[in-house]
Amino acid sequence: MSGTWKSGVAGVLLIPALAAALLAVIPDYRWGARINVAAAALTALVALSLFVAGTGGDDYLLIDDLNVVFVALSTFVGFTTSVFSATYIAHELETGRLTPLYLRFYHAMYQILMFSMNLALVANNIGLMWVAIEMATLTTVLMVGIYRTHEALEAAWKYFILASVGIALALFGTILIYVAAQPVVGEGLPAMAWTTLSGSAHLFDPALLNLAFLFLLIGYGTKVGLAPLHAWLPDAHAEGPTPISAVLSGLLLNVALYALLRFKILLAANAGAVAPGPLMVALGLGSLVFAAFLLYRRRDIKRFFAYSSVEHMGICTFAFGMGGALANFAGLLHMTMHSLTKSAIFFAVGHIAQVTGTQRMEGIRGLTVSHPALGWGLVFGVVAIAGLPPFGLFTSEFLVVTSTFARAPYLAVPLGLGLLIGLGALLLRLQQVAFGAPLAQTQPARASLVPLYAHLALVFLCGVYLPRAVVDWFQHVAARLG
Amino acid sequence: MGDLVFDVAHLLAGGMVVVSFLLLYQGRMYALLNMFALHAALLSAAVAWQALTQDAAHLFVSAAIALVFKAIVIPAALHRIVERLGIHRAIEPVVGVGLTMLAGTVLVALSILVMLPITLASDALAREELAFALSVVLLGLLMMITRHNAVSQVVGFMSMENGLVLAAAGARGMPLVVEFSVAFSILIAFIVIGIFLFRIRERFDTVDLQALDQFRGERR
């Protein structure tokens, strides 16, 4: 049994790496798109096989119950996004915003991004994970700036500088974790491996762990997009190609939050260390309320949904900060549902921006009339992201709110307030964009609706019926998070 | 021998903190770049000394990267960029030298006060290295905040990163230090190429979101 997880991990790493090399030399963009989809599909299938391949770990790589969920989610959304991307880029090529040469670069980068995100998730070594997250940052920076307009370059540069400072601080935290572990575990690789760290974390020096977590929280928190460290996020989402916005919101934020969760387990295992919970609760709640208010002032549709991502990452961080089996369960479920829903929304938004020729919301009217399939897709997506039933986000938000009421009622007030304020902004804008008389000058849609509705169907399904097996799995993982 | 090991490591790491202070108030671009080259050279010596005393051959690779890449190639490249962008004569108004230095002193005091008491379990050498490294990191961060020009912000970032490499080299037996150096070098190469290709002169305000929103017409 010990070898099977290794071949699975090798699959999710090697397939994207080889595909990236192949895509870099293929000049025809149609073939590029096809290979991109095929490689992403293959990776997703291999990731599914990890569920049955068992768990295990060595010095560098690890598969356990926590990360296998994220690998599966990541590769699945990576696959659907590649399908969306194939139709999206055809339009970008026609309008001349991208050239075939840039597309070649784009496809290779897409697979490198998949590789580095998978590497960050399956890394057993905290240093290797850091290198992988840095690599993912670099590739996304290049993709955000791919349109080479003034705004795109500015967004890429801002993202670059802020994320670099963030990951530099995270590295300092990583070094401190090693310094804390080294007297207990001994020198060398074991002192950087999750498997050995989590087993002996109760023996580490608490003060060092505290300081390390502070750096890690600020560092990786920048990548999660928690306020007030979120400044890069809206720009990067708004100016890059929409498939990248979908991957950023749906996957990369999750990867950074996953890293934080891992370190939180270490702190939770040490009785002398400060509880990481209150810090995460404060940051999460702050992000939620702050982003909810800012939603009202957005005029750009992609920027609008980027702020919504800040809001939802705040909810997840808040839930994990509360801790306990129920809140952790809700947090995990919320991360999953948010990934699926937000990427679906960006699929819709990408096509909407193409048919209307603008990202400004005043230029978009009556979508349900002019493009019914697309418009209703957006409506369902926004209803889901607003946390209304019958979608899965309702379940997770409901669980977060009820567990907060049960344990810390005074925190439930700002939480509920933030959720309601966000809900108001979402419905207000949705009503303006989706209903009413359509503006005249729109193009017919040539959208790939399958990824959009597949995601929404999944979110809907989780809202009305969560299979027992999934619940058990999440409960099992939630118990480990402490 | 034991004292010599400690003293030399102390001297080199302390020297980096001093040069970090010098970086804080440099007004002219070329002087800033020369100072940074000195910073990187000191880092290289400090890492090489750690490699020697810890008997860790892989650290020599990190030292070599620091010397060749950060002390020679990057400053030379930035020299050319400064020339091309025509900002070499611009004496950058550093916001309140006195205040910046005061803040820097506070940060160094803070990092020593924070690091020394909590690393009692580690040996004296590692403790001092960590305290110095944190000072260098915080001073680099301070420089990034107080400067208004992309090139000097990048210099601030690189000095911050030098502090990280110092910390990693000081942690006894830490694996992957070379990989960190390489990863950072790639990052910095990208930044420098970015400045060069896109002719970024000014930093983009990262804190003042309102101004950016206004610029985009996001406000009514």
Mean pLDDT, rounded, for A278-283: 92
Whether pLDDT at A188 is above 70: yes
In the predicted model, what is the mean pLDDT of residues A39-44?
Answer: 94
Indicate if the pLDDT at residue A18 is higher than 90: yes
Nearest by CB to residue B172, choosing from A135, A187, A235, is A187
Instruction: Return the pLDDT at A149.
Output: 80
For residue B198, the chain A residues in CB contact (below 8 A) are 153, 157
> With 80 as the cut, is the pLDDT of residue B92 above it?
no
Residues of B in contact with A131 (CB under 8 A): 176, 179-180, 183
Nearest CA in chain B to A132: B183
A51 pLDDT more than 80: yes
Q: Can you give the pLDDT at residue B90? A: 63
pLDDT of residue A376: 92
Average pLDDT of A365-385?
Answer: 90
- For the cut 70, the answer to whether the pLDDT of residue B89 exceeds it is no
Position A215 pLDDT exceeds 60: yes
B93 within domain boundaries:
yes
Which parts of chain B are beta strand (E)? Answer: none
Instruction: Note whether B180 contacts A171, CB cutoff 8 Å.
Output: yes
Q: Is residue B160 part of a domain?
A: yes
Interface test with B, best of A175, A211, A303 (most B CBs within 10 A): A175
Residue B85 has pLDDT above 80, yes or no: no
CA angle B147, B142, A274 (to 5 degrees): 150
Pick the residue from chain B with its C-alpha nearest to A168: B161
Task: Work out the minimum CA distance from A471 to partner chain B, whole angstroms.
Answer: 38
Within 434-453 of A, beta carbons closer than 8 Å to B belong to none
Q: Is there a contact between B209 and A183 if contact means CB atoms under 8 Å apart?
A: no
pLDDT, chain B, mean: 81
Give the number of other CB atoms < 10 A from CB of residue A159.
25
Cβ-contact A367, A445 below 8 angstroms: no
B220 found inside a domain: no
Mutation target vs A (from B159, B206, B220; most A CBs, 10 A cutoff): B206
Rounded mean pLDDT of chain A? 89
Stronger pLDDT, B113 or B177, i.e. the higher one: B113
Residue B8 resides in a domain: yes
Kindly report which listed range (A34-48, A338-352, A423-437, B176-190) carries the lowest average pLDDT score.
B176-190
Q: Residues near A347 by Cβ (< 8 Å), separated by ≥ 6?
A: A80, A81, A84, A242, A246, A377, A448, A451, A452, A455
Please say whether the beta carbons of A118 and A135 come within 8 A.
no
A349 Cα to chain B: minimum distance (Å): 18
Of B121, B183, B209, the CB nearest to A131: B183
Query: What is the average pLDDT across A210-230?
Result: 91
Q: What is the pLDDT of residue A362?
A: 84
What pLDDT sits at residue B121? 66
pLDDT at A440: 65
Q: Do B198 and A157 touch (CB under 8 A)?
A: yes
How far does the CA of residue A410 sit from the closest CA of chain B (Å)?
A: 30
pLDDT digits (tens, 9 = 90+) for A85-113: 998 888 888 888 888 888 888 999 999 99
**Is the CB of residue B207 less than 8 Å away from at least one CB of chain A?**
yes
**Inside any domain, residue B162:** yes
Q: Return the pLDDT at A247.
A: 92
Please list every residue in chain A whose beta carbon sits closer than 8 Å to the beta carbon of residue B164.
Answer: 168, 171-172, 175
CB contact under 8 A, A131 and B164: no
What's the confidence (pLDDT) of residue A35? Answer: 93
Q: Do A205 and B118 touch (CB under 8 A)?
A: yes
Residues in chain B with CB shorter than 8 Å from the CB of A231 are: 206-207, 209
- The answer to whether residue A131 neighbours chain B at the CB level (below 8 Å) is yes
Q: What is the mean pLDDT of residues B88-97?
A: 67
Let me know if residue B38 belongs to a domain.
Answer: yes
The pLDDT confidence band at residue A327, using thresholds 50, 70 and 90, is very high
Q: Does B86 touch chain A (CB under 8 A)?
A: no
Q: Is the ipTM of this complex over 0.90?
A: no
B157 with A158: Cβ contact below 8 A: no
The pLDDT confidence band at residue B209, using thresholds 50, 70 and 90, is very low
Report the gap between the CA of A202 and the closest CA in chain B (Å).
15
Are B219 and A188 in contact (CB < 8 Å)? no
Q: Which positions in chain A touch B171 (Cβ < 8 Å)?
A: 175, 178-179, 182
How close does chain A come to B174, measured CA to CA in Å? Answer: 6
Of B1 and A55, the structure prediction assigns the larger pLDDT to A55
Q: In this complex, which of B115, B204, B217 lies closest to A154 when CB atoms are compared?
A: B204
Task: Please tell me if residue B74 touches chain A, with a CB cutoff of 8 Å.
Answer: no
Residue-wise pLDDT for A58-74, tens only, equals 888 888 888 888 999 99
CA angle A198, A78, A336 (to 5 degrees): 55
Domain that holds residue B66: 2-215
Mean pLDDT of B162-188: 84
User: Are A24 and A69 contacting, i.e. CB atoms less than 8 angstroms apart?
Assistant: no
Residue of chain A nearest B153, judged by CA positions: A161
CB pairs A-B closer than 8 Å = 119
Burial track B39-59 (b if 16+ CB lie within 10 A, e otherwise): bbbbbbbbbbbbbebbebeeb
Q: Nearest CA to CA, how far is B161 from chain A (Å)?
A: 7
Q: How far apart are the first and last CA of chain A?
A: 28
- For residue B219, which residues of chain A lie inside 8 Å, CB to CB? 297
Q: Which of B114, B115, B194 sits opposite A157 (nearest CB)?
A: B194
Count of domains for chain B = 1
pLDDT band for position A384 (cuts 50, 70, 90) = very high
Q: For an interface test with A, which of B129, B198, B208, B220 has the most A Cβ atoms less than 10 Å from its Cβ?
A: B198
Instruction: Show the 3-state SS of chain A.
Output: CCCHHHHHHHHHHHHHHHHHHHHHHCCCHHHHHHHHHHHHHHHHHHHHHCCCCCCEECCCEEECHHHHHHHHHHHHHHHHHHHHHHHHHHHHHHCCCCCHHHHHHHHHHHHHHHHHHHHHHHECEHHHHHHHHHHHHHHHHHHHHHHCCHHHHHHHHHHHHHHHHHHHHHHHHHHHHHHHHHHHHCCCHHHHEHHHHHHHHHHCCHHHHHHHHHHHHHHHHHHHCCCCCCCHHHHHHHHCCHHHHHHHHHHHHHHHHHHHHHHHHHHHHCCCCCCHHHHHHHHHHHHHHHHHHHHHHCCEHHHHHHHHHHHHHHHHHHHHHHCHHHHHHHHHHHHHHHHHHHHHHHHHHHHHHHHHCCCEHHHCCCHHHHCHHHHHHHHHHHHHHCCCCCCHHHHHHHHHHHHHHHHCHHHHHHHHHHHHHHHHHHHHHHHHHHCCCCCCCCCCCCCCHHHHHHHHHHHHHHHHCCCHHHHHHHHHHHHHHC
Closest CA to B217 of A310, A418, A359, A386: A359
What's the mean pLDDT in B65-74? 90
Greatest mean pLDDT among A244-248, A370-374, B77-81 lies in A244-248
- B187 assigned to some structural domain: yes
pLDDT for A31 beyond 50 = yes
> Which A residues in the span 98-127 are in contact with B, Cβ-Cβ below 8 Å?
125, 127
The pLDDT of residue B93: 62
Which pLDDT value is given to residue B217? 46
Instruction: Residue A211: list chain B partners with CB under 8 A.
Output: 114-115, 118
Stretch A460-471: mean pLDDT: 89
Distance from CA of B56 to the nearest CA of A (A): 12
CA dist., res. A326 & res. B210, Å (int)? 38
Mutate to test the interface with B, among A144, A172, A296 (most CBs of B within 10 A): A172
pLDDT band at B122 (very low <50, low <70, confident <90, very high): low
Residue with tokens 């073939």: A31
Q: Tokens 């980068």 label which residue?
A: A109
Asked whether residue A3 carries a pLDDT value surpassing 70, the answer given is: no
